[in-house]
Structure 1
Amino acid sequence: MQKTVSLAVAVLLFGAAAVPAAHAESLEEALAAAYLNNPTLRAQRAAVRAVDESVPQALSGWRPTVTLNGSAGLADTTSRVASVSRDQDLTTRSYDLTVTQPLFRGFRTEAAVDRAQNSVRAAQAGLQATEQDVLLAAAVAYLDVIEAQAVVELTTNNVQVLERQLEATRDRFRVGEVTRTDVAQAEARVAGAVADRIAAESDLQARRATYERVVGAVPGEVQNPAEVSNLPDSLEESVRLAITSAPGVVSQQYTADAAVDGIREVRGELLPSVNLRASYGEDWERTQEDSSTETASVVVQATVPLYQAGAVYSRLREQKHRAGQSRIQVDEARFEAREAAVQAWENLAAARASIESLSAQVEAANIALEGVQREAQVGARTVLDVLDQEQELLNARVSLVRAQRNSYVAGYQLLAAVGRMTVGSLGLPVETYDPDAHYLDVRNQWFGSSQWADDDAELARTGTDKGGVVGVKLGE
């Protein structure tokens, strides 16, 4: 009688209490590697650092500008008084130092600072959304590898089982217990099983490639993941968290606030501006030899815009439309967040129900196969009946593996929907990237570069990462 593989061995790589293999890679380690290595995430961090610079640019509206102009040259002059002429060879030299301090800019500086700060917060929330997307993609890639490996093992085992079944059928054919048709049916099933195994192996390699792209490393011997934790307790809580805490919603809210600040900034162009201008300069030999002129002045300049050809009013109307658009997009983001939370919650519930039903199906199919095999031995069942039951058991096992994968994926999708697919919530062994570190470093910087910018420039020029660009490292 053909020996079947027990349910505990053949099916669940998901959730099985197996001893981890040597150098096995846990899901947490894979997520930490993706957090460090994923190029999409690293590029988004650089984009946020670029947005940070909008704040010191806005703050520059409070600060003075200092210019120094200088000139030097040669001049040949001829002057005539009555009949007397005089030639002079002059070496002209001059410099002028000017300091301009804005006193009032129509409240544009305040509005620009507020807009820049809201833009930074929007970018940081967008970075969190990207982090969640990357971590979710890494978790899905990890689970896909486990699922593909399980399917490969199941299809490989199925080939071995069917090959033994074929040998047994050929032996029975030789003694006249079955017909040539039974042998052909067994041979056909073996050929189909081999094709399924080859397809499963190809799918495994494709998923390993996806894993490498997302995580940034070749997958090792993946371990069975722990149950997804920190999930919301109800659908209502999921929706509430999603519409208030989802990074996409938070980012859009800050974007809308920045658009309102933009209205104030444009409106300020219609108001007067006042500057304090101080200058000091000297000239040598501008008109005659051995002469010099020294000039110093302090002037308050006021500018009152009267009419700018309608351009400012047009931009003001444009900004109001954009602010209204941004507020509408906040509602759109909330609807999308709610949809994602509901879908993830229902997918998780459906996957858990499927696991329960499919587990019962696998157990029943396994018992049925043993019964059909015994009945076939006494002639009450045909070889085709046995083959059909083996195929049904294989299909149930593969469906169960996929349902378990879907359950994990839905759990992580739910975490992402409510804003909990983060390094801190997942407890990953990696130091969290702090976007405020760069923001605070450059916010009040009056001049010069920074190590962050130099590292980004070096990476752009040579492709070499010195470490400052990422700013995170694996935990000990």
Structure 2
Amino acid sequence: MKTHLRARASTLVLAGALAAGSLTGITPAWAENLQDALVATYGSNPTLQAARAELRATDENVAQALSNWRPSASVTGTSQFSQSDNELRSGAGFANLTSSRDDRVSNSGTVSVRQNLFRGGRTVAETRQAKAQVAAGRAQLSGTEQEVLLAAVTAYMDVLRDAATVELNRNNVTVLQRQLEASQDRFDVGEITRTDVAQSEARLSRSQSALISAEAALTNSRAAYERIVGMAPGTLDASPALPPLPGTENEALDIAVTNNPALQAARFAEEASRHAISQAKGALLPTLTVEGDYTYADNPSSTVRNSESATVTGRLTIPLYQSGAVYSQVRQAKQLNSQSRLQIREALRQVEEGVASAWEAYRAANAQITSDREQVRANEIALDGVQQEAQVGSRTTLDVLDAEQELLDSRVALVTSERNAYVAAYQLLSAVGRLNAEYLGLPVERYEPTVNYDDVSGKWFGFGIEDDPDEIAPESGTDAASQL
């Protein structure tokens, strides 16, 4: 697709960008282009960082599933104090009475080891399900990355648009102030009536109100930019280059069917639900375990000083009937799989709709730019002609004011359509699944989800993590227990 946006943005937008800081009373401290904003967003946006942490948590599902292949071991220790008093009769007729007392402390320890040999295929199914969940989580992370980067692009272009709008309205106020002075001078010499002066005053008040509204919109846009990017906007580059876009709508759709992260996530979620069926069925199959116990007891009884025992047990458990609960779980898993399959179909329809909508929005925005530029050109000619006709008395003051307002409106519309075209282009990239750091060529250290996965999926010991919460962000500091 060809686009005139690649070459250069409107000088109106450039003027607005240069005023982005000064118009709100803030002096820009540094120059910034769209790539700088996207780099800052990629590295610091809390929404994106939270999604990465969520994926790292999902990685642990694989480690938990694989743990069923490994043995479990435990140590149990007991210490017991016992006291007994006994009276014994002996002799002829049990006439002799003797008493005895036994105070004893006995200690024992047991080491137990348990190893699963067969769990009805549930370990295999759980592992495959966990891996599918990780794949779905990675696709969801890609979707979050696209959403965050698109929000950054939108915030960047909103600041440019609103800054340019403020500059246009400020210039309009200046022009109308001068026109009011000229109208007053002409009224003083009797060339025009009081009505003409009142019309100029009314139009000036209107322009001042519009300027205040434009400045408020710019303040809001700057706040949104800071929230998403993580810093206040500096002097923004007014002509960010667009990345390569699909050449046709069909090409865009073909790319989206393969790359769109929402569709990928739905497919992997269906795979996970499919393995959940096998996992549920496994509860109907036999289980086989080997258990080993070693026990040492010190002073276990009055006649035994110490004892040792070791046992190895093979345990085969064959389920016969579990009150119908397992059968219900299998049916439930099948229904959830049906739901997942339908969600793939729904995701595909949403992708098709999103591509078509984004394509038409981009095409319409570019056509709007052409129309708005022609409108600006025509209004500039019209204003010049009305001003000349007003000097010879064939046009009224109101005609001039109306022509000036139409020119202002067309210039603001042009700024808005240029912003819309940029945003629509990135929305199209998002729809096809290419709005990411890799495709945009951002000079960042890219987040690699495989690093944490490889680190934790086979880990046998340890609860430490690389991305410690205290190093990422402070804790909330709340203590709910003290407030309840």
With normalisation by structure 1, the TM-score equals 0.91
Deviation at 1:368, TM superposition (A): 1.1
From 368, 373, 387, the counterpart of 1:359: 373
Residue of structure 1 in register with 2:38 after alignment: 31
Check conservation: 1:88, 1:289, Cα contact below 8 A.
Answer: no
Check conservation: 2:18, 2:235, Cα contact below 8 A.
Answer: no
- 1:209-228 alignment, distance < 5 Å: 209-228=223-242
Amino acid at match of 2:291: R
Residue of structure 2 in register with 1:433 after alignment: 447
Q: Considering only aligned residues, what root-mean-square deviation do their CA atoms show, in Å?
A: 2.2
Bigger mean CA deviation after superposition, 143-152 or 443-452: 443-452
From 456, 469, 475, the counterpart of 1:456: 469
1:24 & 1:17 partners in 2: Cα distance? 10
Bigger mean CA deviation after superposition, 79-88 or 9-18: 9-18
Residue of structure 1 in register with 2:203 after alignment: 189
Deviation at 1:126, TM superposition (A): 0.5
The yes-or-no answer on 1:286 pairing with 2:286 is: no
Alignment CA distance shift 1:198-1:253 (3 Å): same
1:331 & 1:117 partners in 2: Cα distance? 22
Amino acid at match of 2:232: V
Residue of structure 2 in register with 1:77 after alignment: 84
Check conservation: 1:14, 1:225, Cα contact below 8 A.
Answer: no
Alignment CA distance shift 1:273-1:358 (3 Å): same
Residue of structure 2 in register with 1:51 after alignment: 58
The yes-or-no answer on 1:266 pairing with 2:280 is: yes
Alignment CA distance shift 1:12-1:169 (3 Å): same
1:94 aligned counterpart, secondary structure: strand
Amino acid at match of 1:11: L
Deviation at 1:363, TM superposition (A): 0.7
2:89 & 2:251 partners in 1: Cα distance? 101
Deviation at 1:225, TM superposition (A): 3.6
1:162 & 1:100 partners in 2: Cα distance? 88
1:204 & 1:60 partners in 2: Cα distance? 55
- 1:10-409 alignment, distance < 5 Å: 11-13=12-14, 23-78=30-85, 83=90, 86-288=100-302, 291-409=305-423
Alignment CA distance shift 1:110-1:350 (3 Å): same
Check conservation: 1:46, 1:456, Cα contact below 8 A.
Answer: no
Deviation at 1:457, TM superposition (A): 5.9
Amino acid at match of 1:62: W
Alignment CA distance shift 1:217-1:17 (3 Å): closer
> Percent identity among equivalent residues?
46
Check conservation: 2:256, 2:433, Cα contact below 8 A.
Answer: yes
1:80 & 1:192 partners in 2: Cα distance? 113
2:257 & 2:15 partners in 1: Cα distance? 32
Amino acid at match of 1:419: G
Deviation at 1:79, TM superposition (A): 5.9
Deviation at 1:45, TM superposition (A): 1.2
Residue of structure 2 in register with 1:470 after alignment: none
1:134 & 1:16 partners in 2: Cα distance? 22
Gaps of 5+ in 2: 1-8, 20-27, 91-97, 478-484
Check conservation: 2:18, 2:236, Cα contact below 8 A.
Answer: no
1:161 & 1:257 partners in 2: Cα distance? 66
2:144 & 2:29 partners in 1: Cα distance? 33
Check conservation: 2:120, 2:282, Cα contact below 8 A.
Answer: yes
Check conservation: 2:17, 2:164, Cα contact below 8 A.
Answer: no
**What is the count of residue pairs matched by the alignment?**
454
Amino acid at match of 1:76: Q
2:466 aligned counterpart, secondary structure: helix
Deviations along 1:278-335, one digit per CA (max 9) or x if unpaired, are 1111112112155212111111110000010111111111111001101100111111
- The runs of 4+ residues in structure 1 deviating greater than 4 Å are 14-18, 78-82, 457-461
Deviation at 1:459, TM superposition (A): 5.3
Alignment CA distance shift 1:125-1:223 (3 Å): same
Check conservation: 1:372, 1:381, Cα contact below 8 A.
Answer: yes
1:13 aligned counterpart, secondary structure: helix
Amino acid at match of 2:126: A
Amino acid at match of 1:363: R
Amino acid at match of 2:268: Y
2:233 & 2:471 partners in 1: Cα distance? 30
Alignment CA distance shift 1:17-1:163 (3 Å): closer
Check conservation: 1:281, 1:295, Cα contact below 8 A.
Answer: yes
Deviations along 1:121-172, one digit per CA (max 9) or x if unpaired, are 1111101101110110111011000000000000000111111111111111
Check conservation: 1:344, 1:413, Cα contact below 8 A.
Answer: yes
Deviations along 1:421-459, one digit per CA (max 9) or x if unpaired, are 101111223211111111111010001123336x12665
Deviations along 1:239-272, one digit per CA (max 9) or x if unpaired, are 1222221111111111110000000001000000
Bigger mean CA deviation after superposition, 211-220 or 81-90: 81-90
2:162 & 2:18 partners in 1: Cα distance? 19
Bigger mean CA deviation after superposition, 221-230 or 195-204: 221-230
Deviations along 1:332-388, one digit per CA (max 9) or x if unpaired, are 111111111111110000000010111011011101111111111111211111111
2:369 & 2:261 partners in 1: Cα distance? 31
Deviations along 1:375-432, one digit per CA (max 9) or x if unpaired, are 1111121111111110110010000000000000100100111111101111223211
1:214 & 1:281 partners in 2: Cα distance? 61
1:11 aligned counterpart, secondary structure: helix
2:308 aligned counterpart, secondary structure: strand
With normalisation by structure 2, the TM-score equals 0.90
Amino acid at match of 1:317: R
